[in-house]
């Protein structure tokens, strides 16, 4: 999956009508799945957001720590859940609001950046973590994510390579790098290395 695709997993909520009829998992299953993205020691006290039958985001469980988890959007063909620090909620919530209005992709991103620059949208004052777990599916009975891949993001609004020492290009070995430097949406990406290609079969 490309970097743009990774970001789209947790920023894009506006989807085609054909996908909106997808069945919604029971709240307990949504909660169990969403928590898979969180560090284990932080799951029990995390707040969890999920979806109702109309596709609207709702609170499935209140929390007592500073982590918010978002269940998989049933309208999306790709399975993905995410957890993020509570200081990111204004930014994430605004993204969901714009998506519901039909504002998508780069326009939605720039709209939020402009609002942050104008002081209308609160951004984290300290580095804030986001965990994104992609996979094929979640088995509520076993608590397992099929072929899950966990990616880490640390939002550092307006950070630059000069201030952090980070590269703005993703390293091939999966180390940290700075995306959207100098903008309200600046963040450190830490993605797992791409899987090695399978060995060549004899005769190939």
Q: Examine residue 116 and state whether it is found in any structural domain, yes or no.
A: yes
CB contact at 8 A, 190 and 175: yes
Residue 135: which domain range?
3-190
Model confidence over 138-197: pLDDT tens digits?
998 888 999 999 999 999 999 999 999 999 999 877 899 999 999 999 999 998 875 555
- Residues linked to residue 153 through DSSP beta bridges, in sequence order: 130, 189
Q: Examine residue 203 and state whether it is found in any structural domain, yes or no.
A: no
Q: Examine residue 82 and state whether it is found in any structural domain, yes or no.
A: yes
What is d(CA 158, CA 112) in angstroms, rounded to the nearest whole number? 13
Quote the pLDDT of residue 199: 61
Predicted TM-score (pTM) of the model is 0.83
Q: What is the mean pLDDT of residues 52-56?
A: 89
* pLDDT of 17 over the 80 cut: no
Domain count, the chain: 1
Q: Examine residue 11 and state whether it is found in any structural domain, yes or no.
A: yes
H helices present in the chain, as ranges: 3-11, 27-34, 89-100, 105-117, 161-164
């Amino acid at each position: 999956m490309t970097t743009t695709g990774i970001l789209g997993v947790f920023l894009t909520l506006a989807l085609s009508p054909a996908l909106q009829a997808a069945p919604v998992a029971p709240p307990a299953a949504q909660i169990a799945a969403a928590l898979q993205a969180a560090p284990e020691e932080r799951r029990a006290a995390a707040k969890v957001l999920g979806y109702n039958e109309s596709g609207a985001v709702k609170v499935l469980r209140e929390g007592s720590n500073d982590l918010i988890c978002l269940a998989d959007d049933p309208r999306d063909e790709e399975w993905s859940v995410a957890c993020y620090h509570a200081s990111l909620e204004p930014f994430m919530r605004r993204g969901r609001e714009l998506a519901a209005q039909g504002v998508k992709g780069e326009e939605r991103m720039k709209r939020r950046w402009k609002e942050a620059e104008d002081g209308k949208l609160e951004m984290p004052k300290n580095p804030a973590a986001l965990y994104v777990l992609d996979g094929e599916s979640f088995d509520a009975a076993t608590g397992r994510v099929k072929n899950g891949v966990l990616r880490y993001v640390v939002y550092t609004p307006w950070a630059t390579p000069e201030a952090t020492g980070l590269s703005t290009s993703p390293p091939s070995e999966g180390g940290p790098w700075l995306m959207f430097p100098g903008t309200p949406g600046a963040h450190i990406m830490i993605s797992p290395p791409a899987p090695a290609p399978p060995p060549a079969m004899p005769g190939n």
